[in-house]
């Protein structure tokens, strides 16, 4: 590998995933242990994951710590607050609940500037940023909805049928695809779901240490398929429910041959489905992947490229999205894209409707396709953008995906290595890259020890964006073991390395 220090993301050899029994009406799922981050952590409480950046709240040292996706600490920022919960408002700006000031505070991790974002939340205990809105959970039993500037748009009372309220609302998650809010009641150890307008939908989970029970809930998170993850501080595990509230499985690293979670609290799921769990007493963040079927009722779209760490240019911008179809539904036929100005999300820069999807499914899967759109942009300086995508089939239009941010540069970079997709993957993945026309470059796949597994010489590039597909085999054509791998582009003094996860 390059001279860069070895990654702090340590991964154990992946044992056979444990298939856990699910209750009636729920599907079985296979949790996979991916690795951990532990360097520099004291007592991590909450975290936020976007693109290639992991932000961790350390309430006891009163700091926010930033890590790259491969586990390298990037910087630390001191915050003068009794903080809990953490959510990214926009690139470099994060929100947290300040219990001492009874407010939601914002901090720019680039400049260190901090300001009051919201004071109208009463007793703020959690905050979620979703697209153009922020959702703040008030411990007194309501959710305050604001725009990205902190202006209150509406309030959602958390009322159960018959007028009953939650005993101790402590954590909030939002399912944007289904327009739902999930609230964890820490005393009852249950999760209550509400529609976007506040309509009560149901309550699931209960106190205990058995199947589908939670002893002491910490935080909750929802993935794009509607699966809800609840960290259990006392049992040292994560309990998983599907969108209907059925118990799916428990994720316990001991069952997967890894170290136990001691007081798991903070929890986050990235756009690729990787689960991040911060354990306060273990002083580390553990990564998992839940191998489950795609949503059975929603046409999902996921932004793949570019992300906020991609380093793209205005004159050669390519948006790539993954469209997943519901089970037994027609194949997706197209995708809609829209591109917004990052500084003002009301400004629509460009849009496209019914963009054709790929003829071949990525990774050989039968339930997903990709769509690509190249908008025409002209910028004279680095500009922040946000984009969304939604899928189409013959008889359905899916929901818009969450916003994906990126910065576009005015000049074309000479070399560029994009994020592979899908990731995690099985059995193959596409690796996007850019090299000048006629230049010679080398793309390598390395294992965790830096040993070369596979390599390709890129001699005939025509410039612009290209892709190489790796099929999970070594140079001799043999399938390699599941686990974490790195792919590296090198040419003329340029070296870039990224991480990917191969499943079996």
SS (H, E, C) 221-249: EECCCCCEEEEECCCCEEEEECCCCCEEE
* pTM more than 0.75: no
Q: Is the CB of residue 286 less than 8 Å from the CB of residue 258?
A: yes
Q: How many angstroms separate the CA atoms of 101 and 83, rounded? A: 10
**pLDDT tens per residue, the chain (504 residues)?**
222 233 334 332 222 222 222 333 344 567 888 888 888 899 999 999 987 789 999 999 999 999 987 778 889 999 988 999 999 998 889 999 998 899 999 999 989 999 999 998 889 999 999 888 999 999 888 999 999 999 999 999 988 777 677 888 999 999 987 889 999 998 888 999 999 888 889 888 888 888 888 999 999 999 888 899 999 999 999 999 988 888 989 999 998 888 899 999 999 998 778 899 999 999 999 999 887 654 446 677 888 888 765 568 887 789 999 888 766 677 888 999 999 886 555 578 899 999 999 865 554 445 678 899 999 887 778 888 888 898 988 878 888 887 787 888 876 556 889 899 999 999 999 999 888 777 788 999 999 888 999 999 887 566 667 889 999 999 999 999 999 999 999 887 788 899 999 997
Q: How many angstroms separate the CA atoms of 422 and 362, rounded? A: 7
Q: Which residues of 382-407 are buried (b: 16+ CB within 10 A; e: fewer)?
A: ebbbbbbbbbbbeeeebbbbbbbbbb
Cα within 13 Å of Cα(28), Cβ side: 6
Q: Is the CB of residue 422 less than 8 Å from the CB of residue 369?
A: no
Its CATH architecture, for the domain 414-504, is Sandwich (2.60)
Q: How many angstroms separate the CA atoms of 5 and 7, rounded? A: 6
Token code pair at residue 184: 């964890």
294-413 adopts what CATH topology? Answer: Immunoglobulin-like (2.60.40)
30-291 adopts what CATH topology? Answer: Neuraminidase (2.120.10)
Token code pair at residue 60: 């006891």
Q: How many angstroms separate the CA atoms of 474 and 111, rounded? A: 45
Q: Residue 448: which H helix or E strand, with range?
A: none
Q: How many angstroms separate the CA atoms of 207 and 167, rounded? A: 13
Show me where the domains of the chain are located: 30-291, 294-413, 414-504
Token code pair at residue 487: 């792919």
Q: Matching CATH topology for 30-291 and 414-504?
A: no
Q: In what order do the strands lie in the sheet with 344-356?
A: 312-313, 404-409, 383-392, 334-341, 344-356
């Amino acid at each position: 590998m390059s001279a860069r220090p070895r990654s702090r993301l340590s991964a154990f050899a992946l044992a056979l995933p444990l298939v856990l029994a699910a209750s009636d009406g729920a599907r079985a799922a296979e949790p996979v242990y991916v690795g951990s981050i532990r360097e520099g952590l004291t007592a991590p409480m909450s975290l936020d994951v976007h693109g290639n950046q992991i932000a961790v709240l350390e309430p006891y040292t009163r700091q926010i710590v930033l890590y790259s996706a491969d586990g390298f600490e990037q910087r630390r920022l001191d915050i003068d607050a009794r903080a809990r919960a953490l959510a990214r408002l926009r690139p470099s700006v994060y929100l947290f609940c300040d219990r001492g000031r009874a407010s939601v505070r914002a901090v720019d991790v680039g400049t260190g500037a901090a300001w009051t974002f919201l004071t109208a939340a009463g007793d703020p205990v959690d905050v979620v940023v979703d697209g153009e809105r922020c959702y703040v959970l008030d411990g007194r039993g309501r959710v305050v909805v604001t725009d990205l500037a902190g202006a209150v748009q509406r309030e959602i009372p958390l009322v159960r049928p018959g007028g009953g309220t939650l005993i101790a609302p402590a954590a909030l998650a939002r399912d944007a695809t289904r327009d739902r809010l999930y609230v964890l009641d820490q005393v009852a150890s249950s999760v209550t779901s509400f529609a976007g307008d506040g309509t009560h939908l149901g309550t699931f989970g209960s106190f205990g240490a058995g199947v589908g029970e939670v002893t002491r809930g910490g935080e909750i998170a929802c993935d794009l398929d509607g699966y809800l993850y609840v960290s259990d501080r006392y049992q040292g595990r994560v309990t998983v429910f599907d969108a209907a509230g059925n118990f799916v499985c428990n994720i316990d690293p001991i069952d997967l041959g890894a170290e136990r979670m001691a007081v798991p609290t903070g929890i986050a799921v990235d756009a690729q489905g990787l689960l991040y769990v911060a354990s306060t007493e273990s002083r580390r963040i553990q990564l998992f992947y839940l191998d489950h079927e795609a949503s059975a009722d929603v046409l999902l779209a996921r932004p793949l490229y570019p992300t906020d760490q991609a380093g793209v240019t205005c004159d050669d911008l390519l948006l790539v999205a993954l469209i997943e179809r519901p089970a037994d539904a027609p194949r997706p036929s197209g995708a809609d894209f829209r591109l917004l100005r990052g500084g003002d999300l009301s400004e629509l820069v460009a849009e496209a409707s019914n963009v054709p999807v790929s003829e071949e499914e990525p990774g050989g899967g039968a339930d997903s396709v990709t769509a690509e759109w190249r908008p025409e942009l002209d910028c004279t300086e680095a500009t922040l953008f946000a984009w969304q995508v939604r899928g189409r089939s013959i008889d359905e239009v899916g929901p818009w995906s969450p916003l994906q941010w990126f910065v576009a540069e005015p000049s074309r970079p000479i070399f560029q290595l994009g994020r592979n997709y899908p990731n995690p993957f099985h059995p193959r993945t596409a690796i996007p890259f850019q090299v000048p026309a006629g230049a010679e470059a080398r793309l390598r796949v390395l294992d965790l020890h830096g040993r070369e597994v596979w390599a390709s010489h890129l001699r005939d590039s025509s410039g612009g964006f290209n892709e190489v597909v790796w099929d999970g085999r070594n140079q001799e054509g043999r399938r390699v073991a599941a686990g974490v791998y790195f792919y590296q582009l090198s040419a003329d003094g340029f070296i870039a390395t990224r991480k990917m996860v191969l499943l079996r």
